[in-house]
Amino acid sequence: MSDKKGIVYLVGIGPGSEGLLAPDAALAIESADTIVGYTGYLEMIASRLVGKRALGRELGEETARGELAIEIAERGGIVAVVSSGDAGIYGMAGVVQEVAAKRRSEVEIVVIPGVTAACSAAARLGAPLAHDWASISLSDLLTPWDVITKRVQAAARADFVIALYNPTSKTRAHRFAAIVELLLRWRSPETPVGLVENAYRPGENIAIVRLGDLLTAHVTMFTIVIVGSSKTFVDRSRMITPRIYAAKTIETLDDEAEPIERPAAIERDDPVDPRVRRSEVGDSILARSFELIDAELGVRPRDPAERAILRRTIHASADFDYVHNIRFGPGAIEAAVRGLRAGGTILVDVEMLRAGIRSDWAGELGVEIACGLNHPACLELARTKGLTRTAAGIRLALERAGAGTIVAIGNAPTAIQELIRMVQEGFPPPACAIGVPVGFVGVEEAKQQLSMQRYFPYLTSAGRKGGTAVVAAIVNALLEIARDGADP
């Protein structure tokens, strides 16, 4: 380590426009001899990098960037680590200081704030963040997905305005759909949602839509999605959350003077008003989607229950491969429907799957949806038994479940293996198991084990495809069949 004292400036460069780069941030960049950052952010300040050493890294290499900056500063360098927006909000300030703490580095660290993306988007939309709000990133690169869904549900239930960062990507489109479905459990489909992409820089795109229409809107990884609270309204193309919360607001939408209907807050376990679940537009889109699926399916499968499950599976995945890949074990549909009508428990492997299941339909049947993943004893059980956390969660939940349990697994093949192992050990078998995990390691093998065992009825699929959205669709189809009253 050099005797010369180095400095690391953690700089928020704002949304990318020159006018919103804070003077102190500009001075820090000018003072530094080395600039470290994501290559896309370095391009935003290219004119300020002349004569400087610029070290660009890609997304996902945050820790490597932090270690590089600290190493250079420990050798006496003056380093500016740049983040878009504010460095302390989903930026590099936390990463770099974590690295410094682990290394017990004594380099000087200076954090310089910037205009964060939520504030930039809010300014373009009007005043959606004028009252309490929550900020949640939907990227699961650094945060487990079940934690993300739990936070979204908590914020939605508490009626916060919610700013969603990193809402979707090519590999996470199905997960954004699951979040929208979760939000619709707690918010009216008429709730205003602001969408801002590339605020204050080239390619800027701004829109305000209704929550019920969000899945058909243009949303990318670079869009900030701001979901209004029950008090948020739109007037003259501006999204407004009242600062005086008890104030009576004029609820209009643009120039149409159309009132926004706001149902009362709904507790998750209460019966759900159908108006809250979907808008009329959403219903028409769903009906048209089923028409297109039915047309492409043709006459097969002829069994109405199998067809109902298959069409919802295709609707959730847009993948007609399930026509050939889905596997209905003998008597599986009948067993699952009997269990649901008897008020059995739906036991799921992850919280995301619980969020995707229609709790209102389950409630009508007296069915509880349970997940053992976040049980206090789960981590200890996983450690002592040498299990994955998901497998441990299934074991804990199944130990506490009663007769008629429906086990639904969309994430972890190890949970399928643990379920079979428990039944082999003497635990009462479930009424039915739906096991359609997705992935590369152990997935096909676990599905094969499920289809070969003869302890309980099952639904699964061949190959690697699957996931929580698919399993939620299957469970919802079974709930719909159970509610209809006809024999499957």
Within 8 A by CB and 6+ apart from 225, the residues are: 163, 164, 167, 193, 194, 195, 214, 219
> Which residue(s) pair with 112 in the sheet?
11
d(CA 14, CA 88): 12
Calculate ∠ Cα 133-137-138, nearest 5°: 125
Identify whether the C-beta of residue 237 lies closer than 8 Å to the C-beta of residue 226: no
Query: In the block, which residue shows the tokens 């399993």?
Result: 471
158 SS3 class: coil
**How would you class 356 by CB atoms within 10 Å of its CB: exposed for 0-12, middle for 13-18, buried for 19 or more?**
buried
**Where do the DSSP E strands lie in 24-158?**
34-38, 53-57, 78-83, 108-112, 126-127, 133-137
Q: By C-alpha distance, which of 198, 138, 219 is closest to 14?
A: 198
Catalytic annotation present for 315: yes
d(CA 79, CA 36): 7
Region of 102 (left: φ > 0; alpha: ψ -120 to 50; beta: rest) is alpha
Within 8 A by CB and 6+ apart from 104, the residues are: none
Identify whether the C-beta of residue 412 lies closer than 8 Å to the C-beta of residue 391: yes
Catalytic residue among 131, 174, 218, 315: 315
**Where do the DSSP E strands lie in 211-306?**
223-227, 233-235, 238-240
Measured in residues, the chain has a length of 488
Active site residues: 315
